[in-house]
A and B are shown apart, each in its own frame.
Chain A
Amino acid sequence: DIQMTQSPSTLSASVGDRVTITCRASQSISSWLAWYQQKPGKAPKLLIYKASRLESGVPSRFSGSGSGTEFTLTISSLQPDDFATYYCQHYNRFTWTFGQGTKVEIK
């Protein structure tokens, strides 16, 4: 089974900071990776799919990159609404696997 590992688990940052979250796969997954944002008490929200494609309606300060085993989610200038937990997710038509999550908190 493919394992997805995110780092860091928690990230403290200030409004305006550039933030990068890393997701590593235990084996190559090509570009079959999505990123989600989740706020307390709410369902996750899709941000990025196919590793780097921005979902419609998602602000352009969010971007994704990577392929193979290493991927990143970058927030170019952190906004107050961005403090949340972020999850990466691998999909391969047969199974879907989430990373353990990265909490972005206020510094």
Chain B
Amino acid sequence: QVQLQESGPGLVKSSETLPLTCTVSGGSISSYYWSWIRQPPGKGLEWIGYIYQSGSTNYNPSLKSRVTISVDTSKNQFSLKLSSVTAADTAVYYCARDRSYGDPEVGAFDIWGQGTMVTVSS
């Protein structure tokens, strides 16, 4: 059974870079898109971006200038870096698996991590 676990600092200073890692266990990181999604306190979900095992990425246009997602297939991990953070970046950050690669007919985020709260402090 595939499981995802986010890890990283719970507190990041304003203007610095937010680093998070998602570890995939119970299965391979191959053959799926892997996304980061965030949710500010009391608000809705926002897709940040995805990566494929090859390293190909796509980002939310609203965050593209500040986002980098990378993958380490040897560790079955993928990572997020969000630069120049402000208080507006305070949120729960989720990693999730999208199974649409190879068959868009079944596309959706079917497996999620538990989420990690990141607070940006001034």
| Interface of A toward B, CB cutoff 8 Å | 1, 32, 34, 36, 38, 42-46, 49-50, 53, 55, 87, 89, 91, 93-101
Contacts and interface: CB of A to CB of B under 8 A. Distances in A.
Contact of A87 (B44, B58, B60): B44
Interface string B85-99: 000000000101010
Interface residues of B, number: 24
B78 interface: no
Given A50-B107, A89-B108, A43 B115 contact: yes
B104 A32 contact: yes
Interface of B: 35, 44-47, 50, 58, 60-61, 94, 96, 98, 100, 104-110, 112-115
By secondary structure, the B interface counts as mixed
25 contacts: A1-B61, A38-B45, A42-B114, A43-B96, A43-B115, A46-B108, A49-B106, A50-B105, A50-B106, A50-B107, A53-B106, A55-B108, A89-B108, A89-B109, A91-B98, A91-B104, A91-B108, A93-B104, A95-B58, A96-B47, A96-B50, A96-B109, A97-B47, A98-B46, A100-B44
Contacts, number: 64
Contact of B44 (A34, A45, A96, A101): A101
Contacts of A45: 112
A44 B45 contact: yes
Contacts of A34: 107-109
Contacts of B105: 50
A69 B103 CA distance: 22
A54 to B, nearest CB: 12
A32 B107 contact: yes
Given A43-B94, A87-B45, A96 B35 contact: yes
A98 B58 contact: no
